[in-house]
Amino acid sequence: MSLNNAKHTITEIDGVRCTLVETGITAERMTFLKDLLEANSLLVKVKEETSEPPVEALKYSLGVTDLVFNPVFAVYERSMKTIDGQIVSPDIWNQKSDRYIREYWAK
């Protein structure tokens, strides 16, 4: 789920109902999000997506077991932190930046 869509989707991963965070992501993106969500005390479930015909690059679906979690709300409410304690901004979530930049109006 990108930060452009706040639709809340529930799915089952490994027999556990999960809130779907993102689908069709690469291994690098999956690792980044898994580490970030686990640093915020969320239990993460990952499922490898299958495709016909098989493609070279594997894609993954990632979910959390907290059924009320919504990544859009968590990022824009500034309730998530990075591993080193920074606030997770949309740029950090989208991997455009690795640090939080305080806006000029939030001084």
Divide the 107 residues of the chain into consecutive groups of 10 and give the mean pLDDT of each group: 78 93 92 95 93 78 94 92 90 82 61
- Per-residue pLDDT at 11: 92
Instruction: Please report, in angstroms and rounded to a whole number, the separation of the first and last CA atoms in the chain.
Output: 30
- Per-residue pLDDT at 98: 73
Global pTM reads 0.85
Amino acid 92 reads: I
Domain assignment present for 19: yes
Domain range for 95 is 10-106
Domain assignment present for 3: no
- Per-residue pLDDT at 53: 74
- Per-residue pLDDT at 13: 92
Domain assignment present for 26: yes
Tally of CB atoms within 10 A around 105: 5
How many domains, the chain?
Answer: 1
Domain assignment present for 17: yes
Domain assignment present for 95: yes
Domain assignment present for 5: no
Q: State how far the Cα of 78 lies from the Cα of 4, in Å rounded to an integer.
A: 16
Domain assignment present for 101: yes
- Per-residue pLDDT at 49: 86
The CA dihedral of 16, 25, 23, 94, to the nearest 10 degrees, is 110
